[in-house]
Amino acid sequence: MEDLSLHVLDVAENGISAGASVIRISIEENLEADLLTIVIEDNGKGMSPEFLDKVLDPFVTTRSTRRVGLGLSLFEQSAMEADGALNIESTIGIGTKIVVTMRHGHIDRKPMGDMASTILTLIEGNPSVDFVYNHKKDAKAYVLDTREIRSELGAVPLNHPQVVSLIKENLAEGLGQIQ
């Protein structure tokens, strides 16, 4: 995986496959502490402790199309290359929280990539799921909460082309401001 944003997309899609109605994505870039933290949290069906014990094994998957599940183990590999780690907390019937840390300035840390595209792809492809995206960089922060947008839209779906282009503008402006 070239960019961290693609890992985020992959892990968020796991949450959607697990039946989540809300996915929270939080990114914190703390340059002073040289720490990058990415948290992806869902309220999907969760995983059992037995399954959790082996989920980072690249040969574990419940997919039927392909025997190898790589999403989580590749993300863990990217984290470890940048002196970090990937941790999973999960409870059956409650949801799953993936916490990934990395050294922000590590020479082998993958670039963040296009987070605006990741968020937009998730919203466009899953208009009935809510996404709460929080991106902090030092003292600056950007938040996008589709629950707030949804409440203003009434019957208009989140993936209506005009809504998507408004969200796209909001992401570009908001992420531009914290850079």
Ligand X SMILES: Nc1ncnc2c1ncn2[C@@H]1O[C@H](COP(=O)(O)OP(=O)(O)OP(=O)(O)O)[C@@H](O)[C@H]1O
Give the footprint of ligand X on this chain (CB under 6 A): 10, 14-15, 18, 42, 44-47, 55, 60-63, 69-73, 96
Binder of residue 44, out of ligand X, Mg ion, none (CB less than 5 to 8 A by kind): ligand X
Stretch touching Mg ion by CB under 5 A, among 12-20, 74-82, 105-113, 163-171: 12-20
Separation between Cα atoms, residue 3 and residue 10, nearest integer Å: 11
Binder of residue 47, out of ligand X, Mg ion, none (CB less than 5 to 8 A by kind): ligand X
Secondary structure class of 116 (helix, strand, coil): helix
- DSSP bridge partners of 29: 36, 137
Q: Which helix (H) or strand (E) holds 24?
A: strand 22-30
- Give the x-and-dash track for 87-126 against Mg ion (CB under 5 A): ----------------------------------------
Q: In this complex, which beta carbon is closest to Mg ion, that of residue 8 or of residue 175?
A: 8
Q: Which of 14, 78, 90, 118 binds Mg ion (CB under 5 A)?
A: 14
Instruction: List the structure tokens of 177.
Output: 């401001």
Q: Which helix (H) or strand (E) holds 75?
A: helix 71-81
Separation between Cα atoms, residue 58 and residue 94, nearest integer Å: 24
